[in-house]
Structure 1
Amino acid sequence: MSGSKRVAVVGVGTMGSQAAWRLAARGAEVVGYDRFAPGHDRSAAGGETRIFRSAHFEDSRYVPLLKHADALWEQLQQEAGRELRRLTGCLLMGPTEHQQMATVLQSIAEHGLDHEVLDAQSLAKRFPQFRIEDGDAAVLDRHAGYIRPELTIQTAARRAEQLGARIHRYTAVREIAPSGDGVEIRTDAGSERFDAAVVTVGPWVNDLLPDLPWEVDIRRLINAWYVPTTDAWFGEERPAFIRTAPTHCYGLPSPDGVSVKLGLSRALHRPVNDPNRLDRTVEPEELDVFTELLGRYMPDLHPDPIRLSVFMEGYTESSRPLVGPLPGNDNVVLLAGFSGHGFKLSPAMGDIAADLALDGTSAQPIDFISTLDRAEA
């Protein structure tokens, strides 16, 4: 049986914790390695909340994967007895002629997603905390909401351990080397051989795999939390929100009912040369773009943030992740470069990683993100 394989999971974070859970659930002998510990805030998984949504800006081909992730989110919550996700809706706003809004409407139409289109008058009455401009559209994705990232990672990792996985915390992997018909994982404490490895190291992917044939651009991102000056942000409906243009931003009312988290897109953040030396200090001038957004679209948020957080994300040139075997080594499954929209997909990606590590293939529709025959510089 394929599940009897020994599989290493290198990086037990957003994707790795889910891969460890799905592998262990199938009876694989799973050993995880993390340079810190599951749920840490030193890479891409901090920030208290992340958005789950059914409609997709980037490519409607993600929708079937989101549906698979949706089922697994429910399964993990049931198995763990913890609320990891709450469906509060997500408002998607932007100019109607912008390609991302067109893709959202296409994904909704193709897959029959539960949604509502709001004109400016309806939006102002129902969600007075937001402003839209002439030519803008607003779409409420009803099967959407927020995820608790740190809790999710710890929960998935703990569930994997309950199913028999072992996790080496504070253990950085220095090298992954071919070993016969398997792979060898080398750390400062020694080496261990496995039938396969799943590599999910986030911003450290270029360090661990310097010969990767695709570029993964690591960026330093900022989240800022703002206090509302009106009650509208915490009324009966508290949707997450995304604005596509002219400045791409996203946000979520915090679960504690105190503040609203705001984040920006890749282009507005600095590259990270060394993920081990992330600058976590936010300079005042870095908040100028946040302040401009608040004044234009969310004037009921006090312009001075009460909390700031810095983290990292990996982007590919196409913004599509790298999912599949490492070139030249089919025993290494790579998940990398999720380009800012990976967390909502993470249970599905963990399940796909388990498919690939145990069986060499997956029934999920991943051709458009697969590393096989990928023509990307």
Structure 2
Amino acid sequence: MAARKRVAVVGVGTMGSQAAWRLAARGAEVVGFDRFAPGHDRGAAGGETRIFRSAHFEDSRYVPLLRHADGLWRRLQEETGRELRRLTGCLLMGPTEHHQMATVLQSIAEHDLDHEVIDAEALAKRFPQYRIEDGDAAVLDRHAGFLRPELTVLSAARRAEELGAKIHRYTPVREIAPSGDGVVISTDAGSERFDAAVVTVGPWVNDLLPDLPWEVDVRRVVSAWFVPVGDTWAGEERPAFIRTAPVHCYGLPSPDGVTVKMGLSRQLHRPVADPNSLDRTVQPEELDVFTELLRRHLPGLLPDPVRLSVFMEGYTESSRPLVGPLPGAENAILLAGFSGHGFKLSPAMGDIAADLALDGHTDQPIEFMTTLGRTAA
């Protein structure tokens, strides 16, 4: 019988909580380390809701991973007894000639996804809260909806602990160093050796791994919540939505039906020089882009937000995540730079991290990502 592997999970957030769950479910001895505690709002896993969708704007090769994630979302809900995801659909809107609309239609056709193309006249009747323009297309991704980020991270971490994992809260890791056929994790309390480590520190990746040959661009993300003028958002169908152009934005009706959350794309986020001193105050001029978006595309929302929150996300130059063994430390598996796409994929990526940490390879199709070492069988 093979010896039980000891695996450290450094950063128990979006990816780390899922990796801890999948590793513990497969019998590993799991020890997690987090500079705060699972479910905190200082990284990317905040804001009450995130979008889950089956169709993909960026690359149709994500779809098999989304299907793998879909099954694991169902499993995590069953194991925890919590509603972590609700399928309400997601409207994908934008100019027909825009490359992202072409990619999403390609992913739908290639993978036979459940969808509906809605013309402008039908959209105006069925979803009067949206205003589309001449030349726009609208596609309803039916197997889509919203996820609860804070509850998900908490639930995955607690499930990992129920399966035997140990999580050190408020314990930042200072160094990860290779040691023979393992790794040494150093904190302010001392050093400990493990057979492998999964490194999922989100916006702190550049701090912890300053010699990483791939730069992760950390950005400050603003989310804003708006109140509807009337009852146009109160219909039976309340899908999430994404608009590709002229300004890329997304939104989700809140679970309680009172507000609509909105967010923006990478280009409109400010760089973060130091993730330890994030400016969490939103200045009035930062709201101008939201005001214009509401005027042009969402006139049924009052223009002044009732709530604002600031988070961080890590982006790569290619918008594809960094996945695989760290250079010079084959037993340390990095997951970083998901460029705003990661939360819906997180159970699948946690499972992939478990594959790489325990078996040294994965059968999941991740070759199109920025893979850092041997990752395929």
Matched residue type, 1:179: S
Partner residue in 1 for 2:260: 260
Q: Distance in 2 between matches of 1:207 and 1:32?
A: 19
Deviations 1:66-123, CA, capped at 9 Å, x for gaps: 0000000000000111110000000000001000000000000000000000000010
Matched residue type, 2:347: P
The answer to whether the Cα contact below 8 Å between 1:201 and 1:336 also exists between their aligned partners in 2 is: yes
Partner residue in 1 for 2:284: 284
Matched residue type, 2:165: A
State the shift of 1:361 in Å: 0.3
Q: Distance in 2 between matches of 1:277 and 1:237?
A: 40
For 1:40-119, what aligned pairs fall within 5 Å after superposition? 40-119=40-119
Partner residue in 2 for 1:187: 187
Q: Distance in 1 between matches of 2:99 and 2:134?
A: 17
Matched residue type, 1:30: V
The answer to whether the Cα contact below 8 Å between 1:117 and 1:138 also exists between their aligned partners in 2 is: yes
State the shift of 1:2 in Å: 6.1
Q: Distance in 2 between matches of 1:285 and 1:29?
A: 49
State the shift of 1:3 in Å: 7.5
State the shift of 1:285 in Å: 0.2
Instruction: Give the percent of matched residue pairs that are identical in Structure 1 and Structure 2.
Output: 84
For 1:326-345, what aligned pairs fall within 5 Å after superposition? 326-345=326-345
Partner residue in 1 for 2:354: 354
State the shift of 1:4 in Å: 1.3
Partner residue in 1 for 2:206: 206
3-state secondary structure, aligned to 1:232? coil
Q: Distance in 1 between matches of 2:43 and 2:278?
A: 9
1:196 aligns with 2:175: no
Partner residue in 2 for 1:233: 233
3-state secondary structure, aligned to 1:51? strand
- Number of residue pairs matched? 374
For 1:8-19, what aligned pairs fall within 5 Å after superposition? 8-19=8-19
Partner residue in 2 for 1:295: 295
Q: Distance in 2 between matches of 1:99 and 1:123?
A: 22
Question: What root-mean-square deviation, in Å, do the aligned CA atoms of Structure 1 and Structure 2 show?
Answer: 1.0
The answer to whether the Cα contact below 8 Å between 1:177 and 1:183 also exists between their aligned partners in 2 is: yes
Partner residue in 2 for 1:39: 39
3-state secondary structure, aligned to 1:55? coil
State the shift of 1:370 in Å: 4.2
Partner residue in 2 for 1:168: 168
Partner residue in 2 for 1:312: 312
Q: Distance in 2 between matches of 1:313 and 1:132?
A: 29
Inter-CA distance 279–68: structure 2 relative to 1 (3 Å threshold): same
The answer to whether the Cα contact below 8 Å between 2:320 and 2:370 also exists between their aligned partners in 1 is: no
State the shift of 1:371 in Å: 2.0
Matched residue type, 2:27: G
Deviations 1:301-325, CA, capped at 9 Å, x for gaps: 0000000000000000000001111
The answer to whether the Cα contact below 8 Å between 2:177 and 2:329 also exists between their aligned partners in 1 is: no
Partner residue in 1 for 2:23: 23
Q: Structure 1 length as normaliser, TM-score?
A: 0.98
The answer to whether the Cα contact below 8 Å between 1:116 and 1:139 also exists between their aligned partners in 2 is: yes
3-state secondary structure, aligned to 2:38? coil
The answer to whether the Cα contact below 8 Å between 2:128 and 2:232 also exists between their aligned partners in 1 is: yes
The answer to whether the Cα contact below 8 Å between 1:322 and 1:370 also exists between their aligned partners in 2 is: yes
Matched residue type, 2:121: Q
Q: Structure 2 length as normaliser, TM-score?
A: 0.98
Matched residue type, 2:109: A
Partner residue in 1 for 2:131: 131
Inter-CA distance 373–17: structure 2 relative to 1 (3 Å threshold): closer
Q: Distance in 1 between matches of 2:356 and 2:279?
A: 36
In structure 2, runs of 5+ residues without a counterpart are: none
The answer to whether the Cα contact below 8 Å between 2:326 and 2:333 also exists between their aligned partners in 1 is: yes
Matched residue type, 1:284: P
The answer to whether the Cα contact below 8 Å between 1:3 and 1:27 also exists between their aligned partners in 2 is: no
The answer to whether the Cα contact below 8 Å between 2:182 and 2:196 also exists between their aligned partners in 1 is: yes
The answer to whether the Cα contact below 8 Å between 1:326 and 1:371 also exists between their aligned partners in 2 is: no
Partner residue in 1 for 2:219: 219
4+ residue runs of structure 1 moved beyond 6 angstroms? none
Partner residue in 2 for 1:158: 158
State the shift of 1:373 in Å: 6.4
Inter-CA distance 77–3: structure 2 relative to 1 (3 Å threshold): farther
Matched residue type, 1:111: H
The answer to whether the Cα contact below 8 Å between 1:3 and 1:23 also exists between their aligned partners in 2 is: no
Deviations 1:304-360, CA, capped at 9 Å, x for gaps: 000000000000000000111111211010000000010000000000000000000
Q: Distance in 1 between matches of 2:41 and 2:80?
A: 22
